[in-house]
Amino acid sequence: MKFKLKRLLAQCFFFIVANLGGLGIKTGFCYPFFYCHACPTGSAACPLRSLEISVINKNFNGRLFLYPLVILGMVGIITGRAVCGWACPVGLLQRATGKVARKLKRYVPLPKKVTRTIDQKGRYLKYAILIGMVILTPFFIGFMFTDLCPVGFLVGTIPISLLNPGEFIPSFYFYPALVIFILFLILIFTIERGWCRYFCPIGAILAPFNKISIYHVEVDKKTCVHCNLCSSVCPMGIDIPNMHRDPECILCGKCVTACPHSIIKFKRN
Amino acid sequence: MKTLLILQLAGFIIAAGIFGGLIASEDVYSEVQQTIVKVLCLSCIKLTPATDINFTFETVFDGDHPSFILENLSKGVVFLAFRADVCDACDIMEPHLQDIFEIDFEKEETIVVTKTVDGINVTFIHISLNHSPDYLIDSYELYDYQQVSGVPMFVWITYGYDRGFIKPFYATGYGTLQQNTGEDQQQQLLDIIEDAVALYKQNNHGNH
């Protein structure tokens, strides 16, 4: 079976698992990826919500704080950020929109130096969002990232409004969230994996695990001819020939397939 | 290589150990299930229920009114306020409840307090879905008329006349009751309490 197809099947499988709530299966686990419990068919809790609730309004609930972190930790130690590439439903969505982003990039070329600097610095944004909006603002002022989350808007607000016409009215956060949702759509249609690269707080939790994860992608630098075919197909925009356990790698395997000399491989150690 | 392997093993054992410990010894699984997954997170969906608050006899799934409701109803109107620990709209509505019933309480507290309105007792029961006893929490589903599963949820229970019988008659409201200002929200709570009291006065005698 083709590698690309295997990954698509895995993503579809996890999408179904994430939506088992439609069959009445509402568990007490946290998703190890980005998905929302407010989705009418959601089957588990958003790990970010659990983190936010654990620190809300200067209270600290150690159990709720540790619970999502250890779930993400176990997954992260084994696979690193592979869940972003193989399991996350938002990743699946971006896989579809990535094709548009790629075409757009060809037609609207921006100066490489500028885009590279913004791209490199922008990747730290997700860590700032994780610490700032998931931990600090809930703790100090009670404002939570999930109040404005565009994924909650996509899989919660829109389906609930459509399934229950006239039964709900916009709340205080609706319009700011709508603006963020529109920006989210623009982002994922213009930058391949833009959400994963710059904004995903779950990605920020998982990224450091790439440094120690059992599964990872390795490049044989000695035999690499620097043709850069791998970098050109990488959805995360990683400089693959110089990569070593890069925190941004989502183990999608596109570079493994693209390498003409087969020197990029999945490793397990 | 050896250091990395030790790190991986140690990290996984620690994470798995904590996870196992949390699942086995704490009620974190059911806490997440009951307070995050099963409850519709109104702030996550950025919506609030648009409900007209009307009195009805029909409980959800035709369930029987719990004994604590019937016991308090025999003394007067019952007013329930359900909330969760993390709930923006609950925080907005809570001061109004404290004003109306002239009492201070914490959001985690289960409160039962009685006030007289127009000569009729109104028993106010504040129920936290995270901390209150199960028999109180279980009444939530019974009165969640629109099956919104969201908080805050307010329930006014009084008596009503139904084809020859006097029966418990209740109304359910959600969120900020579709009112934008604090004044209107408080007035809406009071108006329905007064309606419930008027209905109680009309129908209470028929109950005996």
d(CA B114, CA A137): 37
Which position has the token pair 């790629």? Answer: A102
Enter the ipTM.
0.89
Question: Is residue B8 domain-shared with residue B77, that is, in the same domain?
Answer: no
Question: Is residue B105 domain-shared with residue B188, that is, in the same domain?
Answer: yes
Question: Is residue B79 domain-shared with residue B121, that is, in the same domain?
Answer: yes
Nearest to B22 among A36, A37, A67 (CB): A67
* Conformational region of residue A30, where left means phi above 0, alpha means psi within -120 to 50, and beta covers everything else: beta
Surface of B (137-196) touching A: CB under 8 A: 146, 148, 175, 178
In whole angstroms, how far apart are CA A234 and each of A36, A237, B5, B173? 27, 5, 28, 51
CATH number of residue B166's parent domain? 3.40.30.10
Interface contact B108, partner A, CB < 8 A: no
CA A32 to chain centre: 10
Provide the residue range defining the domain that includes B89: 44-207
Question: Is residue B6 domain-shared with residue B50, that is, in the same domain?
Answer: no
Interface contact A262, partner B, CB < 8 A: no
d(CA A49, CA B41): 10
pLDDT tens track, chain B, 208 positions: 688 899 999 999 999 999 999 998 778 998 898 878 887 777 788 887 776 788 999 899 888 999 999 999 999 999 999 998 888 889 889 999 999 999 998 888 999 999 999 999 999 999 999 889 999 999 999 999 888 888 899 999 999 887 667 889 999 999 888 887 889 999 999 999 999 998 898 888 654 4
CB within 8 A of A215, min separation 6: which ones? Answer: A78, A79, A80, A82, A251, A266, A267, A268
Cβ contacts of B9-18, under 8 Å, gap ≥ 24:
B11/A73, B11/A77, B11/A212, B12/A74, B12/A77, B12/A78, B15/A70, B15/A73, B15/A74, B15/A77, B16/A70, B16/A74, B18/A66, B18/A70
Question: Is residue B64 domain-shared with residue B30, that is, in the same domain?
Answer: no
List the domain boundaries for chain A: 3-162+170-214
d(CA A112, CA A110): 6
The count of structural domains within chain B is 2
Question: Is residue B124 domain-shared with residue B109, that is, in the same domain?
Answer: yes
Strand partners, B48: A169
Interface contact A205, partner B, CB < 8 A: no
- Angle between helices A89-107 and A3-18 in degrees, nearest 10: 130
Question: Model-level pTM?
Answer: 0.79
Question: Is residue B154 domain-shared with residue B79, that is, in the same domain?
Answer: yes
Interface contact B50, partner A, CB < 8 A: yes
Question: Is residue B122 domain-shared with residue B71, that is, in the same domain?
Answer: yes
Question: Is residue B27 domain-shared with residue B126, that is, in the same domain?
Answer: no
Surface of A (76-115) touching B: CB under 8 A: 77-78
